[in-house]
Chain A
Amino acid sequence: MNRTNPDEPLTVNQLHGKPAGVVTRTLAGAIDYAVAAILLGSSYLGLAALQFLWNPVRFSWPVWPIATWLVLGFVYLVAYLWLAWATNGKTLGGVLMGTRVVSISGKRLGPVRALLRAAFCTAFPIGLFACAATPRSRSVQDIVLLTKVVYHYRNATVQIERLPD
């Protein structure tokens, strides 16, 4: 659908398929971090529950060093992002915020590139903010791995504010 009238208000449907901005991607990333944190916390509680069931008398909360938290968190986040991007291109944050990670040609990422991007994003999250200043809203990971993040809405008709030129 071509928008011929510049005064016509924008809707999120009209952004479908366009490069997503830094705010939308940051919110989606925050949601993904929360998902990974929930997975990590669930793992800790699950391990504690197993220890309690194994020996309730001598139960004590497991003590994990900070390195364990960091390594496990890294692993969980990479695994979660990899599986999401390699299959549907959408993490939970992407589903809620309406973004999808695709290749530069618009296709779904392969497993290797999805894994590399997941590891890159997890190890260097600040690279996301490059999309605020780059012409096509591309982060460092997008530039290196030839990917992009686009708006991916479905049946959304909410009107958004159109900024003056």
Chain B
Amino acid sequence: MGEPSPAQRVADTALGVAGAAAPVVGAVARRGWRTASKIWSVAARPPLVPERWTLGHFTDQAEIRGRAMREQASIDLAETSTRLGDALVPLVAHQVLSRLETIDLSQVRLDPTQLEQALDVVVPFTVEATLSRLDPLVLIENHIRLEQIEKLLDAHLADVLALTLSQLDLTAIVRENVDLVGLTNDVVDQVDLAGITQNVIDEIDLQAIIRESTSGIAGDVVNGTRASAATADEFIASFFGRRRPNPPGATV
């Protein structure tokens, strides 16, 4: 380290003096500030002086006016910045696009990892933003025709349903998700079983069926007994070595 220059020495001296005087100056300044504040509090709004003529009133008005000017300046600055942006962005964009057109994209090498990361960020955001702006009803009204839907359903609905049902275990689904007992009870509650039974009985005329079947059975028994007895009569007659003088079946 060499000998300091005179200027360096002057600066060091001044710095040393300032360092030694700083505490004293600070203490004097604090005391002076407190004193000035007390003096200002009295001088700003002295007793017996109307408020409108006090110094504090003037300073307050000046503060309010200054704040308004600052806010207006901020607004003006924002508007100016906007106008400036509106004027500059097209120019910049035009310049950027004009330079992009000159770039040979085939020569651009994309890092797959970076591209994937970029897509992970951009694609969800883009899709969400797109979907949030879509109105399904408007899309259907503008782009889908019912005739096309009908043709599509006519052509493929049966196959789609068959394929879907073949992939489903409907029995298991019903068992797991349907309260069969409750459903059965509801159905039974809704159905007038007594009325249906009465209608069925009325329709089939059960009494007539029972009457006919009973009489039919009795008639079969009687006819069977008669036939058996007549056969036995024939046998007895032949046993005694005679035939009937009027053979059966001659005349009824």
Contacts and interface: CB of A to CB of B under 8 A. Distances in A.
Contacts of B223: 12, 156-158
A97 B222 CA distance: 7
Contact of B226 (A2, A18, A98, A162): A98
Interface stretch (A19-27, A48-56, A75-83, A117-125): A19-27
Contact of A136 (B230, B235, B245, B251): B245
A1 B233 contact: no
A96 B240 CA distance: 26
B141 to A, nearest CB: 79
Given A21-B237, A135-B242, A163-B238, A97 B229 contact: yes
Interface residues of A, number: 39
B74 interface: no
B236 A23 contact: yes
A10 B233 CA distance: 13
B51 to A, nearest CB: 132
A32 B229 CA distance: 16
A22 B248 CA distance: 15
Interface string B100-119: 00000000000000000000
Interface in A2-58: 2-3, 8, 10-24, 27
A147 interface: no
B246 interface: yes
A74 interface: no
A70 interface: no
21 contacts: A1-B251, A2-B249, A10-B248, A10-B249, A12-B223, A12-B227, A12-B230, A14-B249, A17-B252, A19-B246, A23-B232, A96-B222, A96-B225, A97-B225, A132-B240, A135-B242, A156-B223, A158-B224, A158-B226, A160-B231, A161-B231
B245 A135 contact: yes
Interface in A113-165: 132-133, 135-137, 151, 153, 156-163, 165
A65 to B, nearest CB: 37
B234 interface: yes
Contacts of B242: 135
Interface of B: 222-238, 240, 242-252
A113 to B, nearest CB: 23
Nearest to B227: A160
Contacts of A17: 251-252
Contact of B236 (A14, A132, A157): A132
Nearest to A129: B236
Contacts of A13: 252
Given A12-B227, A96-B222, A20 B240 contact: no
Contacts of B225: 27, 96-97
A159 B231 CA distance: 10
Nearest to B232: A23
Q: Which 7 A-B pairs have the closest CB atoms?
A: A21-B233, A3-B249, A14-B249, A23-B232, A158-B223, A160-B227, A24-B229
A21 B226 contact: no
Given A133-B240, A163-B238, A21 B230 contact: yes
A163 B235 contact: yes
B248 A14 contact: yes
A67 to B, nearest CB: 35
A21 B229 contact: yes
Contacts of B240: 132-133
A96 B218 CA distance: 10
Given A18-B244, A132-B240, A163-B234, A1 B227 contact: no
